[in-house]
Structure 1
Amino acid sequence: MEAKLAAALKSSANSSKPPSSDIVKPPAARRKAEGKRKRGAQPGHSKHERQAFAPDQIEVTTDHRLEHCPDCGGQLELLDEPARVVQQVELVAQPITVTEHRSRVCRCGACQKEFTAKLPRAVRQAGLVGPELSALIGYLKGACHCSFSTI
């Protein structure tokens, strides 16, 4: 038993072992996976959303609507329901332009189905910021090493 203990405690200082075989740092104790929280909002946490821009802050408003029924090609009538709104901020010469894209809801007169106009792919994929402002944020984060709170 003493021989096993002595063999386990050998190092380059008390044996002919090379220094590269010494354990420099013991392995870190691993955390239990069951106690770790998941990323993002936790259950029961209240939702945080950005406030929409006021109507006087919006310079450009673009309405998107369907010309005809996508199912049967019939005539569509515009409903009084509120439009689905996506607001985007873009960097321009005077420093930003806020564009609101509205996806209008229509009803087909022939088949009485309701439809919402599809927003253009570029608008759907862009999110809150446009390509110019997105590039500036990427530059500030990547090249200038700014924190997200600073940006």
Structure 2
Amino acid sequence: MRSGLRARGEIGDIIGMSHETSPVTPEQIAALPPEFRALLQAVIDHYERRIAALETEIATLKKTPRNSSLPPSTEHPHAKFPPQKTKSGKKRGGQPGHPKHERALIPTDQCQTVITVKPEACRCCGEPLTGDDPQPWRHQVWDVPEIKPLVTEYQRHRLTCPCCATSTCGELPPGVPQGQAGPRLVALAALLMGCFKQSKRRVALFLEQVLNQPCSPGWVVKLQNLATSALAPSYDELSKQLPAETVLGIDESPTKEANRKSWLWTFVAGSYTVFALRTTRAATVLQDLLTDAFDGVVNCDRAKMYYSVGRPQWCWAHLKRALT
């Protein structure tokens, strides 16, 4: 029995080796007794099935932003997610007999135009028709109007004083911008870049071809700077409020600022969120924004730079992934 166990152990050692380092040649295996060769083949089959199962398990445990602490930016934006459920075998789209879904009609008085359509004659015998239908079949067509920019011209007259011959030019009314972009246009350009993640060229293309607003990528940069200047006071006010918060959720994601590696820091408070783009993920960023006055709870991952601020509370999602 002991010799049999030792033989099984040696077989396991042989199976664990690669073909290049195996000390047993195929000829030597063929020279073994049939019973031993059958046992060897059974062990080989067993470990091949186990290796295949382990390779499948390793593939499913590959680290992604959905099952680890990796930031979402490390995954390709067009990465395909594994299927969450098996296919039903049905064709795509609505299935026969499903309830109809259509856009609800708005009240007639909210329509810009109402056109009455009446038949002139009977579709069967051709007899002329008159009268009104108390409940006509309502058909509404939605469309967008032709988009034209609203251009306001201010004619600033220069008048010469009859006494001293000094020329004086009329001042623009309060609130009128010095440039050629109004506040709504500036806000729209900033929204397209900030919220909808469009490039300067695409924003310029949209403004010019869809909104009929003459534009260039260089002018979009100026609009972005105007929006940044307008939002700076509110941003500074919220940033100064961070040290007074009792609970903050903080995280940082790698990104790029021009050709430099940067990190987008996110500070989530109860009623607002502050984003800060910095070229480092060191604790100096936390010191600059939270200062020594912050003594609240920091909900975060287990990165070392959070040890020095407030009272760290590890994210439960990270702890769950670490335990599983």
TM-score by length of 2: 0.17
- Structure ranking higher on relative contact order (CA contacts 8 Å, 6+ apart): 1
Higher helix proportion (structure 1 or 2): 2
Higher strand proportion (structure 1 or 2): 1
TM-score by length of 1: 0.32
Tell which structure's C-alpha radius of gyration is larger.
2
